[in-house]
Amino acid sequence: MEVQLLLFLQNCVRNPILDPLMMFITKLGDGGVFWLIFTAVLLVFKKTRRIGLYCMAAIVFDVLIVNVLVKPIVGRIRPYEVIEGLICMVGPQKDPSFPSGHTAFSFAAGFAFFLKAPKKFGIPALILAVLIGFSRLYVGVHYPTDVIAGLIFGIICALLSVFVMDRIFAGIERKKNDAAGQNNEQTDRQ
């Protein structure tokens, strides 16, 4: 089924109009650079800094779980190396196929952003994450299950980020409130 889908994409969907677009979209995910720059921009501005911290935490979780732990353990061979007739459009990849790192990274940052930003900004981030995941199938470097697993790992990392960062921010707020309460008590005594 996966082989047939990849060959169908290559033989029936690839075309001179979509090829450059899919190449551009897949390059947005290379090394997570787009999402790293996106997160860095969020961190620069005070108004978006907290959302940037959620995205940053999701990215850290993603790198640790996907790149450090899962990819080396699974070590899945890329589809273009084993599927006869499948042409890779982007050249040989250096890391294992499962899960899709581009997809996982995109969903980690994109879904964290979606959960914490206004939806009018969060939805385009999710659409871009979906397009990056699809582009990995289109260019022939991942199996569909690699991309689905990348999506799942990315969402898990985003949810983990929200879980951890919500608790950190709640703790900071409690300390601020406690300190403010103590200052008010001291002022009242004087």
Structure tokens at 147: 């991309």
How many C-beta atoms lie closer than 10 Å to residue 106's C-beta?
30
Mean pLDDT value across residues 99-107: 97
The structural domain count of the chain equals 1
Please provide the DSSP assignment of 43-61 as one string: HHSTTTHHHHHHHHHHHHH
pLDDT at 122 over 90: yes
CA angle 31, 37, 39 (to 5 degrees): 110
Among 99, 114, 129, 100, CA closest to 161? 114
How many C-beta atoms lie closer than 10 Å to residue 49's C-beta?
11
Contact 45, 99 (CB under 8 A): no
pTM: 0.89
Q: What is the pLDDT of residues 3-15, one digit of tens each?
A: 999 999 999 999 9
Among 111, 130, 102, 134, CA closest to 34? 102
Query: Percentage of the chain with pLDDT > 90?
Result: 86
Mean pLDDT value across residues 68-74: 96
CATH number at residue 107: 1.20.144
Range of the domain at 46: 2-189
